[in-house]
Structure 1
Protein backbone atom coordinates (compact mmCIF):
# COMPACT_ATOMS: atom_id res chain seq x y z
CA UNK A 1 0.00 0.00 0.00
CA UNK A 2 1.45 3.37 -1.01
CA UNK A 3 1.79 5.64 2.01
CA UNK A 4 0.58 8.83 0.33
CA UNK A 5 -2.18 9.74 2.77
CA UNK A 6 0.00 9.25 5.83
CA UNK A 7 2.64 11.53 4.30
CA UNK A 8 0.03 14.18 3.53
CA UNK A 9 -1.24 13.93 7.11
CA UNK A 10 2.28 14.35 8.50
CA UNK A 11 2.79 17.44 6.36
CA UNK A 12 -0.48 18.93 7.67
CA UNK A 13 0.46 18.05 11.25
CA UNK A 14 3.72 19.98 10.90
CA UNK A 15 1.73 23.22 10.86
CA UNK A 16 0.85 22.59 14.52
CA UNK A 17 4.29 21.46 15.68
CA UNK A 18 5.83 23.53 18.46
CA UNK A 19 9.42 24.63 18.84
CA UNK A 20 11.56 21.79 20.17
CA UNK A 21 12.78 22.46 23.69
CA UNK A 22 16.10 21.27 25.16
CA UNK A 23 15.45 19.95 28.63
CA UNK A 24 18.24 17.36 28.55
CA UNK A 25 21.53 18.23 30.23
CA UNK A 26 24.91 16.65 29.46
CA UNK A 27 27.27 17.80 32.24
CA UNK A 28 30.27 16.11 30.64
CA UNK A 29 30.01 18.43 27.63
CA UNK A 30 28.24 21.30 29.43
CA UNK A 31 25.50 21.24 26.83
CA UNK A 32 21.73 20.99 26.44
CA UNK A 33 19.90 18.63 24.11
CA UNK A 34 16.33 17.68 23.15
CA UNK A 35 15.00 14.58 24.92
CA UNK A 36 12.42 12.13 23.59
CA UNK A 37 9.84 13.87 25.81
CA UNK A 38 10.78 17.18 24.19
CA UNK A 39 10.18 15.67 20.75
CA UNK A 40 6.76 14.38 21.85
CA UNK A 41 5.84 17.72 23.37
CA UNK A 42 6.71 19.37 20.06
CA UNK A 43 4.66 17.09 17.80
CA UNK A 44 2.00 15.15 19.72
CA UNK A 45 -0.74 17.79 19.40
CA UNK A 46 -0.27 18.10 15.63
CA UNK A 47 -0.10 14.33 15.13
CA UNK A 48 -3.25 13.73 17.18
CA UNK A 49 -5.14 16.40 15.23
CA UNK A 50 -4.40 14.58 11.97
CA UNK A 51 -5.23 11.12 13.34
CA UNK A 52 -1.62 9.95 13.47
CA UNK A 53 -0.06 7.69 16.09
CA UNK A 54 3.53 6.55 16.66
CA UNK A 55 4.68 3.11 17.79
CA UNK A 56 7.95 1.22 18.12
CA UNK A 57 8.82 -2.45 17.83
CA UNK A 58 12.11 -4.31 18.14
CA UNK A 59 13.47 -7.50 16.65
CA UNK A 60 16.74 -9.38 16.50
CA UNK A 61 18.54 -10.60 13.38
CA UNK A 62 21.77 -12.52 12.92
CA UNK A 63 24.35 -11.01 10.56
CA UNK A 64 27.27 -13.36 10.09
CA UNK A 65 28.27 -14.35 13.62
CA UNK A 66 26.77 -11.26 15.26
CA UNK A 67 23.36 -10.68 16.82
CA UNK A 68 21.97 -7.28 15.81
CA UNK A 69 19.12 -5.47 17.56
CA UNK A 70 16.78 -3.54 15.27
CA UNK A 71 14.35 -0.78 16.15
CA UNK A 72 11.36 -0.01 13.94
CA UNK A 73 9.47 3.28 14.18
CA UNK A 74 6.01 3.29 12.61
CA UNK A 75 3.60 6.18 12.08
CA UNK A 76 -0.01 5.09 11.53
CA UNK A 77 -2.68 7.15 9.79
CA UNK A 78 -5.78 5.79 11.52
CA UNK A 79 -8.34 6.84 8.90
CA UNK A 80 -6.64 5.22 5.91
CA UNK A 81 -4.74 2.49 7.73
CA UNK A 82 -1.55 3.54 5.93
CA UNK A 83 1.75 3.46 7.74
CA UNK A 84 5.18 5.01 7.30
CA UNK A 85 8.04 3.10 8.89
CA UNK A 86 11.78 3.22 9.32
CA UNK A 87 14.10 0.59 10.74
CA UNK A 88 17.60 0.99 12.14
CA UNK A 89 20.15 -0.81 14.31
CA UNK A 90 20.68 -0.04 17.97
CA UNK A 91 24.44 -0.08 18.34
CA UNK A 92 26.58 0.81 21.32
CA UNK A 93 30.34 0.38 20.97
CA UNK A 94 31.27 1.22 24.56
CA UNK A 95 28.68 -0.54 26.74
CA UNK A 96 27.14 -3.97 26.97
CA UNK A 97 24.03 -5.51 28.46
CA UNK A 98 20.42 -4.43 28.93
CA UNK A 99 21.34 -0.94 30.11
CA UNK A 100 23.20 -0.27 26.88
CA UNK A 101 20.30 -1.67 24.84
CA UNK A 102 17.81 0.56 26.67
CA UNK A 103 20.03 3.58 26.16
CA UNK A 104 20.42 2.82 22.45
CA UNK A 105 16.69 2.30 22.06
CA UNK A 106 15.83 5.67 23.63
CA UNK A 107 18.52 7.40 21.59
CA UNK A 108 17.37 5.94 18.26
CA UNK A 109 13.64 6.38 18.99
CA UNK A 110 14.34 10.09 19.31
CA UNK A 111 16.42 10.41 16.16
CA UNK A 112 14.23 8.19 14.00
CA UNK A 113 11.13 10.20 14.93
CA UNK A 114 12.96 13.47 14.28
CA UNK A 115 14.01 12.25 10.85
CA UNK A 116 10.59 10.88 9.87
CA UNK A 117 8.84 14.10 10.88
CA UNK A 118 11.56 16.32 9.36
CA UNK A 119 12.14 18.07 12.68
CA UNK A 120 15.16 20.33 12.95
CA UNK A 121 18.10 18.76 14.73
CA UNK A 122 19.76 20.19 17.82
CA UNK A 123 21.99 23.13 16.99
CA UNK A 124 24.46 22.47 19.77
CA UNK A 125 25.49 19.10 21.20
CA UNK A 126 23.32 16.04 21.73
CA UNK A 127 23.36 13.63 24.66
CA UNK A 128 26.37 11.64 23.42
CA UNK A 129 28.47 14.77 22.85
CA UNK A 130 28.35 14.75 19.05
CA UNK A 131 28.39 18.21 17.56
CA UNK A 132 25.48 18.92 15.24
CA UNK A 133 26.06 22.50 14.13
CA UNK A 134 26.35 23.47 10.47
CA UNK A 135 30.10 24.12 10.51
CA UNK A 136 30.80 20.56 11.64
CA UNK A 137 28.42 19.18 9.01
CA UNK A 138 30.12 21.17 6.25
CA UNK A 139 33.52 19.80 7.29
CA UNK A 140 32.23 16.22 7.27
CA UNK A 141 30.65 16.64 3.84
CA UNK A 142 34.04 17.60 2.41
CA UNK A 143 35.50 14.24 3.46
CA UNK A 144 35.24 11.06 1.42
CA UNK A 145 32.14 9.14 2.46
CA UNK A 146 32.20 5.36 2.90
CA UNK A 147 30.65 3.20 0.21
CA UNK A 148 27.24 1.87 1.32
CA UNK A 149 26.91 -1.90 1.38
CA UNK A 150 24.88 -3.03 -1.63
CA UNK A 151 25.86 -6.70 -1.34
CA UNK A 152 23.04 -7.50 1.10
CA UNK A 153 19.80 -8.95 -0.20
CA UNK A 154 16.16 -8.58 0.76
CA UNK A 155 14.52 -6.15 3.16
CA UNK A 156 14.71 -3.48 4.38
CA UNK A 157 14.59 -1.40 1.19
CA UNK A 158 16.50 1.84 1.66
CA UNK A 159 16.24 5.39 0.33
CA UNK A 160 19.48 7.38 0.35
CA UNK A 161 20.14 11.10 0.68
CA UNK A 162 22.97 13.16 -0.80
CA UNK A 163 25.16 12.27 2.19
CA UNK A 164 24.97 8.60 1.10
CA UNK A 165 23.03 7.68 4.19
CA UNK A 166 19.60 5.98 4.18
CA UNK A 167 17.07 8.51 5.52
CA UNK A 168 14.21 5.97 5.34
CA UNK A 169 13.75 2.24 4.95
CA UNK A 170 10.71 0.17 4.07
CA UNK A 171 9.53 -3.42 4.25
CA UNK A 172 6.66 -2.64 1.86
CA UNK A 173 7.88 -2.61 -1.74
CA UNK A 174 5.20 -0.28 -3.10
CA UNK A 175 5.73 2.32 -0.36
CA UNK A 176 9.49 2.20 -0.94
CA UNK A 177 9.09 2.56 -4.71
CA UNK A 178 6.74 5.53 -4.25
CA UNK A 179 9.37 7.31 -2.15
CA UNK A 180 12.37 6.44 -4.29
CA UNK A 181 10.62 7.57 -7.51
CA UNK A 182 10.62 11.18 -6.35
CA UNK A 183 12.72 13.20 -8.77
CA UNK A 184 15.48 14.20 -6.38
CA UNK A 185 15.83 10.68 -5.01
CA UNK A 186 16.28 9.16 -8.46
CA UNK A 187 19.10 11.60 -9.15
CA UNK A 188 21.12 10.06 -6.31
CA UNK A 189 23.39 7.33 -7.68
CA UNK A 190 23.11 5.22 -4.52
CA UNK A 191 19.35 4.96 -5.04
CA UNK A 192 19.92 3.56 -8.53
CA UNK A 193 22.18 0.95 -6.97
CA UNK A 194 19.55 0.23 -4.34
CA UNK A 195 16.90 -0.31 -7.02
CA UNK A 196 19.24 -2.78 -8.71
CA UNK A 197 19.91 -4.54 -5.40
CA UNK A 198 16.22 -4.87 -4.58
CA UNK A 199 15.34 -5.94 -8.12
CA UNK A 200 17.99 -8.67 -7.99
CA UNK A 201 16.45 -9.83 -4.71
CA UNK A 202 12.86 -10.08 -5.93
CA UNK A 203 12.99 -10.64 -9.70
CA UNK A 204 12.64 -14.43 -9.31
CA UNK A 205 10.33 -14.35 -6.27
CA UNK A 206 6.87 -15.84 -6.84
CA UNK A 207 5.21 -13.79 -4.10
CA UNK A 208 6.16 -10.41 -5.59
CA UNK A 209 3.64 -8.88 -8.05
CA UNK A 210 4.92 -8.70 -11.64
CA UNK A 211 3.69 -5.10 -11.77
CA UNK A 212 6.18 -4.14 -9.07
CA UNK A 213 9.00 -6.01 -10.82
CA UNK A 214 8.23 -4.35 -14.15
CA UNK A 215 8.06 -0.87 -12.64
CA UNK A 216 11.40 -1.42 -10.94
CA UNK A 217 12.95 -2.75 -14.15
CA UNK A 218 11.64 0.33 -15.97
CA UNK A 219 13.47 2.62 -13.56
CA UNK A 220 16.69 0.70 -14.17
CA UNK A 221 16.30 0.89 -17.95
CA UNK A 222 15.41 4.60 -17.97
Structure 2
Protein backbone atom coordinates (compact mmCIF):
# COMPACT_ATOMS: atom_id res chain seq x y z
CA UNK A 1 0.00 0.00 0.00
CA UNK A 2 1.34 3.41 -0.95
CA UNK A 3 2.05 5.83 1.89
CA UNK A 4 2.65 8.94 -0.18
CA UNK A 5 -0.09 11.01 1.50
CA UNK A 6 1.13 10.05 4.97
CA UNK A 7 4.72 10.90 4.06
CA UNK A 8 3.64 14.29 2.71
CA UNK A 9 1.78 15.06 5.93
CA UNK A 10 4.66 13.80 8.08
CA UNK A 11 7.14 15.92 6.13
CA UNK A 12 4.98 18.99 6.70
CA UNK A 13 4.65 18.20 10.40
CA UNK A 14 8.38 17.62 10.87
CA UNK A 15 9.12 20.96 9.23
CA UNK A 16 7.25 22.60 12.12
CA UNK A 17 8.85 20.50 14.86
CA UNK A 18 12.46 20.76 15.98
CA UNK A 19 13.04 19.63 19.55
CA UNK A 20 11.29 19.41 22.88
CA UNK A 21 12.85 21.28 25.78
CA UNK A 22 13.85 19.34 28.89
CA UNK A 23 12.10 21.40 31.55
CA UNK A 24 12.04 18.78 34.33
CA UNK A 25 15.01 18.02 36.57
CA UNK A 26 15.33 14.94 38.74
CA UNK A 27 17.94 13.53 41.09
CA UNK A 28 18.45 9.82 41.65
CA UNK A 29 21.22 8.73 43.99
CA UNK A 30 24.16 10.86 42.76
CA UNK A 31 22.69 11.26 39.27
CA UNK A 32 21.17 14.54 38.19
CA UNK A 33 19.46 14.77 34.83
CA UNK A 34 16.99 16.83 32.84
CA UNK A 35 14.11 15.34 30.91
CA UNK A 36 10.95 16.24 28.98
CA UNK A 37 7.97 14.44 30.50
CA UNK A 38 5.24 12.77 28.45
CA UNK A 39 2.82 15.65 28.98
CA UNK A 40 5.26 18.14 27.50
CA UNK A 41 6.09 15.90 24.54
CA UNK A 42 2.40 15.44 23.72
CA UNK A 43 1.74 19.13 24.26
CA UNK A 44 4.32 19.99 21.61
CA UNK A 45 3.56 17.34 18.97
CA UNK A 46 -0.22 16.76 19.10
CA UNK A 47 -1.33 20.20 17.83
CA UNK A 48 1.03 19.89 14.87
CA UNK A 49 -0.05 16.32 14.10
CA UNK A 50 -3.73 17.29 14.25
CA UNK A 51 -3.11 20.23 11.96
CA UNK A 52 -1.79 17.84 9.31
CA UNK A 53 -4.50 15.19 9.84
CA UNK A 54 -2.21 12.73 11.61
CA UNK A 55 -3.52 10.53 14.42
CA UNK A 56 -1.19 9.10 17.09
CA UNK A 57 -2.15 5.73 18.62
CA UNK A 58 -0.14 3.87 21.29
CA UNK A 59 -0.91 0.52 22.93
CA UNK A 60 1.09 -1.64 25.40
CA UNK A 61 1.76 -5.37 25.52
CA UNK A 62 3.42 -7.15 28.47
CA UNK A 63 5.42 -10.32 27.81
CA UNK A 64 5.49 -12.86 30.69
CA UNK A 65 5.63 -10.08 33.28
CA UNK A 66 9.29 -9.33 32.55
CA UNK A 67 9.16 -6.90 29.62
CA UNK A 68 6.79 -4.41 28.05
CA UNK A 69 6.37 -3.47 24.39
CA UNK A 70 4.60 -0.36 23.13
CA UNK A 71 3.23 -0.25 19.59
CA UNK A 72 3.05 3.28 18.18
CA UNK A 73 1.02 4.05 15.06
CA UNK A 74 0.81 7.23 13.03
CA UNK A 75 -2.34 7.27 10.89
CA UNK A 76 -3.13 9.72 8.09
CA UNK A 77 -6.87 10.05 8.70
CA UNK A 78 -7.79 11.13 5.17
CA UNK A 79 -6.02 8.31 3.31
CA UNK A 80 -5.92 5.62 6.00
CA UNK A 81 -2.18 5.14 5.45
CA UNK A 82 -0.24 4.11 8.55
CA UNK A 83 3.31 4.10 9.86
CA UNK A 84 4.11 2.05 12.94
CA UNK A 85 6.93 0.81 15.12
CA UNK A 86 7.51 -1.17 18.31
CA UNK A 87 9.75 -0.37 21.29
CA UNK A 88 10.49 -2.68 24.22
CA UNK A 89 12.26 -2.58 27.58
CA UNK A 90 12.43 -4.77 30.72
CA UNK A 91 9.99 -3.99 33.52
CA UNK A 92 11.90 -2.33 36.40
CA UNK A 93 9.46 -4.00 38.82
CA UNK A 94 6.64 -6.47 38.25
CA UNK A 95 3.95 -4.29 39.82
CA UNK A 96 1.61 -1.50 38.66
CA UNK A 97 4.16 1.24 39.38
CA UNK A 98 6.91 -0.54 37.47
CA UNK A 99 4.50 -1.14 34.60
CA UNK A 100 3.40 2.50 34.53
CA UNK A 101 6.96 3.83 34.62
CA UNK A 102 8.09 1.63 31.73
CA UNK A 103 4.96 2.40 29.70
CA UNK A 104 5.40 6.15 30.17
CA UNK A 105 9.06 5.98 29.20
CA UNK A 106 8.38 3.92 26.06
CA UNK A 107 5.58 6.23 24.98
CA UNK A 108 7.91 9.24 25.16
CA UNK A 109 10.76 7.37 23.47
CA UNK A 110 8.53 6.05 20.65
CA UNK A 111 6.95 9.42 19.87
CA UNK A 112 10.32 11.14 19.71
CA UNK A 113 11.80 8.38 17.56
CA UNK A 114 8.89 8.05 15.13
CA UNK A 115 8.75 11.80 14.53
CA UNK A 116 12.53 12.24 14.34
CA UNK A 117 12.67 14.57 17.35
CA UNK A 118 15.18 15.00 20.14
CA UNK A 119 15.00 16.50 23.60
CA UNK A 120 17.07 19.65 24.03
CA UNK A 121 17.90 21.33 27.33
CA UNK A 122 15.86 24.23 28.68
CA UNK A 123 17.03 27.76 27.91
CA UNK A 124 17.46 29.10 31.45
CA UNK A 125 14.06 30.76 31.57
CA UNK A 126 13.72 32.37 28.16
CA UNK A 127 10.34 30.68 27.71
CA UNK A 128 8.77 33.28 25.43
CA UNK A 129 10.39 31.80 22.34
CA UNK A 130 8.74 28.79 20.69
CA UNK A 131 10.14 25.29 21.38
CA UNK A 132 11.08 24.73 17.76
CA UNK A 133 13.31 27.82 17.62
CA UNK A 134 15.75 27.08 20.42
CA UNK A 135 19.23 25.63 20.10
CA UNK A 136 19.89 22.88 22.66
CA UNK A 137 22.90 22.91 24.94
CA UNK A 138 25.16 19.86 24.80
CA UNK A 139 24.90 17.50 27.77
CA UNK A 140 28.07 17.53 29.82
CA UNK A 141 29.24 14.05 30.79
CA UNK A 142 29.71 13.85 34.54
CA UNK A 143 32.59 11.93 36.02
CA UNK A 144 32.85 10.68 39.58
CA UNK A 145 36.01 9.56 41.40
CA UNK A 146 36.33 5.80 41.71
CA UNK A 147 36.37 4.53 45.29
CA UNK A 148 38.58 1.57 46.16
CA UNK A 149 37.14 -1.48 47.90
CA UNK A 150 38.27 -1.97 51.49
CA UNK A 151 39.17 -5.25 53.17
CA UNK A 152 36.33 -5.08 55.69
CA UNK A 153 34.43 -7.88 53.90
CA UNK A 154 30.77 -8.67 54.56
CA UNK A 155 30.59 -6.26 57.49
CA UNK A 156 30.94 -3.39 55.01
CA UNK A 157 28.14 -4.73 52.80
CA UNK A 158 30.10 -6.46 50.06
CA UNK A 159 28.09 -9.22 48.43
CA UNK A 160 28.59 -12.24 46.24
CA UNK A 161 29.69 -11.62 42.67
CA UNK A 162 26.42 -12.93 41.17
CA UNK A 163 24.31 -10.69 43.45
CA UNK A 164 26.46 -7.66 42.76
CA UNK A 165 26.29 -8.22 39.00
CA UNK A 166 22.49 -8.44 39.07
CA UNK A 167 22.26 -5.24 41.12
CA UNK A 168 24.58 -3.43 38.72
CA UNK A 169 22.45 -4.62 35.82
CA UNK A 170 19.32 -3.33 37.58
CA UNK A 171 20.95 0.08 38.03
CA UNK A 172 21.85 0.23 34.33
CA UNK A 173 18.33 -0.75 33.25
CA UNK A 174 16.59 1.68 35.62
CA UNK A 175 18.96 4.48 34.62
CA UNK A 176 18.22 3.80 30.95
CA UNK A 177 14.49 4.19 31.65
CA UNK A 178 15.23 7.56 33.25
CA UNK A 179 17.49 8.68 30.43
CA UNK A 180 20.55 9.08 32.65
CA UNK A 181 23.86 9.65 30.87
CA UNK A 182 25.53 6.19 30.54
CA UNK A 183 28.91 7.71 31.42
CA UNK A 184 27.52 8.97 34.74
CA UNK A 185 25.98 5.56 35.43
CA UNK A 186 29.26 3.78 34.74
CA UNK A 187 31.14 6.17 37.01
CA UNK A 188 28.63 5.78 39.85
CA UNK A 189 28.71 1.96 39.65
CA UNK A 190 32.49 2.05 39.71
CA UNK A 191 32.42 4.32 42.76
CA UNK A 192 30.10 1.98 44.67
CA UNK A 193 32.21 -1.04 43.77
CA UNK A 194 31.04 -4.36 45.27
CA UNK A 195 29.11 -2.81 48.17
CA UNK A 196 25.72 -4.55 47.92
CA UNK A 197 24.11 -2.23 50.49
CA UNK A 198 25.02 0.89 48.52
CA UNK A 199 23.91 -0.78 45.28
CA UNK A 200 20.51 -1.49 46.88
CA UNK A 201 20.24 2.13 48.00
CA UNK A 202 20.94 3.32 44.46
CA UNK A 203 18.29 0.96 43.07
CA UNK A 204 15.76 2.24 45.61
CA UNK A 205 16.39 5.87 44.72
CA UNK A 206 16.11 5.14 40.99
CA UNK A 207 12.78 3.38 41.56
CA UNK A 208 11.49 6.42 43.47
CA UNK A 209 12.39 8.66 40.53
CA UNK A 210 10.58 6.32 38.13
CA UNK A 211 7.48 6.51 40.33
CA UNK A 212 7.51 10.32 40.04
CA UNK A 213 7.22 10.08 36.25
CA UNK A 214 3.83 8.38 36.42
Superposed CA deviations along residues 167-198 of structure 1, whole A, max 9, x for unmatched, are xxxxxxxxxxxxxxxxxxxxxxxxxxxxxxxx
Relative distance call for 1:97 and 1:53 in structure 2 (3 A) is: same
Indicate the residue corresponding to 2:20 in structure 1.
Answer: 20
CA contact (8 A) 2:66 2:90 kept: no
Of the two structures, which has the highest relative contact order with CA contacts closer than 8 Å and spacing of 6 or more? 2
TM-score (norm 2): 0.52
Unpaired runs of 5+ in structure 1?
137-222
Instruction: Please report how far the alpha carbon of residue 67 of structure 1 lies from its aligned counterpart in structure 2 after TM superposition.
Output: 5.8
Instruction: Please report how far the alpha carbon of residue 77 of structure 1 lies from its aligned counterpart in structure 2 after TM superposition.
Output: 0.6
Superposed CA deviations along residues 102-149 of structure 1, whole A, max 9, x for unmatched, are 1000001001110100002445398725228xxx7xxxxxxxxxxxxx
Indicate the residue corresponding to 2:111 in structure 1.
Answer: 113
Relative distance call for 1:82 and 1:74 in structure 2 (3 A) is: same
Matches of 2:6 and 2:16, distance apart in 1: 16
Matches of 1:60 and 1:19, distance apart in 2: 30
Relative distance call for 1:131 and 1:67 in structure 2 (3 A) is: closer
Matches of 1:6 and 1:53, distance apart in 2: 11
Note the 1:1-222 alignment, pairs <5 A. 1-17=1-17, 19-28=19-28, 29-61=31-63, 68-92=67-91, 94-122=92-120, 123-124=138-139, 128-131=178-181
Larger-gyration structure (1/2): 2
Relative distance call for 1:119 and 1:129 in structure 2 (3 A) is: closer
Matches of 1:31 and 1:88, distance apart in 2: 22
Indicate the residue corresponding to 2:197 in structure 1.
Answer: none
CA contact (8 A) 1:26 1:127 kept: no
TM-score (norm 1): 0.51
